[in-house]
Structure 1
Amino acid sequence: MKKFYIKTFGCQMNVNDSEKMAGILRDMGYEKAESPEEADVIIVNTCSVRAKPDNKAFSFIGSLKKIKKKKPETIIAVAGCVPQKEKDSILRFSHVDLVFGTFNFMKLDSLLERAKRERVVEILNSKIPEEDRVPLIDSYLENPYVAYVTVQRGCNRFCTYCIVPFTRGRERSVKPELVVEEVKRLAERGVKEVQLLGQNVDFYNYEGVDFADLLYMVSEVEGIERIRFQTSHPAGFNRKIVKAMKEIEKVCPYVHLPPQSGSNRILERMNRGYTREEYIEKVMMLKGEIPDVALSGDFIVGFPGETEKDFEDTLSLVETCVFDQGFVFEFSPRPFTKAATFKDDVPKEVKNRRLQELQDLIKRQAEEKNRKRLGKVEEVLVEGRSPKGGELSGRTKDNKLVVFDGDEGLIGKFIKVEIVETSPFFLKGKPILEGA
């Protein structure tokens, strides 16, 4: 049997796209390879949100040349956001046989057939007619109990630093009936938790059905016990969504709501569409309605023109809102974006310092919040072995990672775990087993 290997860079949506491509390959008769060396088809699914994943992808693509030289019949494909925005950067790798963008992955079967005969480059730049059929591709799930479901793609916001509108196109929502059908099919396969994905999931709208409505519809699917969603946009996050979270037992008390900055001046330069006051007001409303909710966010430090006062405003926003987790990045200009034309005037050493200072603050907040869990009993969905320590691992309803010793027979089950040790990044637990 022929084998495939997919290397994925970037966000959860890329992971979901890769799982769908793997599903197509499975239906074509391929099985998954454990390494690129043993694969007949190698796909690199790229990300271009920041420079770092760009560079990692280029390095990995370059490393495949030796495989192609040893096994010329191997088909090497590059997909995703990088070829969507700048295919020439991929075409310079002569050993790459197939290049396609973010709109093309559902045609992978026909693209591969063509790539056996000739080098294929196919980049679509607008919505394709088949897009509403995307959810009907059965994914090859990396985790058989937790699955991603893409409900909204693209973005109309045009934040000045962000390349997503250029690589993923404009906002478009998947028909709600198709979302529900996909979730039902996942439940039939034993999936216990679904994560609804969108570039700006709060802006989901299909002929008047908004995101809160969709949450109610998905919650009715039998077999699904947890529902998560991301990524939320502060301009679209609203009280109706919070009401749905509060009323629907299956919806997890966790929100990823990226502020990016706490400075109104920088938020305006970023074209984010809200003020720090509006962001804080929504977080306080959320925490007022759901006191045990966990909050995470993304931040950019060193954005062009960011002063010490602007950075202090970000620190004060974090101190006010209190985060369970934060992802902090130094500004890196992306091609085609407006911010790429701004003068990158914050010195590298200042960016480094601000990144570390903000990370340290969020780490302290997370550590303090996690410490309060010591001795408490949490419900955890056991997802598998921890890749680092070999222990079992899973997540609480509010997305806290918990590791613990246990038998593999627990995988895929909901169990009670007593928290015996805490850290900023994970909790260590002791399973409380029935009859023990």
Structure 2
Amino acid sequence: MSAHATPLTTRQLLSKVPEITIWFWIIKILCTTVGESFADYINMALGVGLVATAIIFTVVTVVVLAVQLRLTRYRPAAYWFTVVVLSITGTLYTDILTDQAGVPLSASSAVFAIALAVVFGIWFARERTLSIHSIVTRPREAFYWVAVLVTFALGTALGDWTLELTGWGPGLSILLPLVMIGIVTALWRYGANPVLIFWIAYILTRPLGANIGDWLGLTPAEGGIGLGTFTTSLIFLAAILATVIYLTVSKTDVVERDRTVPEPATSPRRRRASLGILAVVAIATVALLIYTNSQPHASVLADEGSGPSCDTSTSLTQDQAKAAARSNFPTVTMNEFRTITADILTAVQNGDAAGAAKSATDLETAWDDNQDTLNAADCGAWTYIDQQIDPVLSSVRSSTPDAGNEQKTLQTLLTTLGA
């Protein structure tokens, strides 16, 4: 990106954004991976529902932005913490539209694309530039952070929509945004419009980071490595912290007012040619998605959070579900469920509400982690037990707990699990 010349005024600040180096893109991808994995973990750990979790993080976002906007210069820790929070919040907004409101990913992608175009339009009409190197006033910084939030939501929607259309696993799905980022990087070196290239790359790093997070966090049966969302989040948060400490000490990403940032040679002809190449890449990508969508495949996201579909028109009795689970589900897995459920019951009987809630989260996590395997083994038994786990979670997490009801739901579940 080239520095954008602006006349100095008393209202101007020192640059509030980092220099666009390789470190910028490394930490940006780390932040987007955390946004995907930590949003999933927090939503599950809080146990208050997707909408409530999004409201909580909206409040956190407002507070973090208020602190960031009050700063007078770029501070790596504050800047990247803001990016992490916006990444989580943007992911939650997309998940609300998709999972809570049932809005198709194609529609949510269009909504966020229009929203981003509106933000850019108002930003440019007011400031006459969209360059990241012009973020030296608070109005420009406000536009910048709104654009960043929308790019996270848009990138999440586009990435999930791609998975829905292709049915690719999390490992293979990394390749498409990675190749496209390579293409736009080459175009930047060739002499494409640096502002346009920056924002395209900024959007593309979102699905790349999300796919990396899914690949690391999902179980091997789901095409991932199996680290889990919590472990993945910890690893990437540690990497972000280490990178921020390095940048704080080295100051390699600090923009100086009198510093001329080198940029590749460019010309109007090269910029026009780059636009043509971008158009060809966009058409080729759409054609690839249309082709893969026309091929028989199972959507990776279609059953996320609900398990593979099955015919449950014939309901099982408790004895039938118990026998089916004993015959078709792994013994070690059933033992884990029984142990956790017994721990919840013990906590309830001892009046330990916090311990019961913690064990309930453990049960929910273990059940969700084994969902696909158990559903594939015996869909009817899985559905029956799943319908008994929900009342347990609701009763334990109730704001007005009823010990009698909690113990009743837990005893029923234990009986089905074979205790």
Q: What TM-score comes out, normalization by structure 1 length?
A: 0.28
Report 1 or 2 for greater relative contact order, CA contacts < 8 Å, sequence distance ≥ 6: 2
Compare CA radii of gyration and give the structure with the larger one: 2
1 or 2, which has the higher helix percentage?
2
Of Structure 1 and Structure 2, the greater strand share is in 1
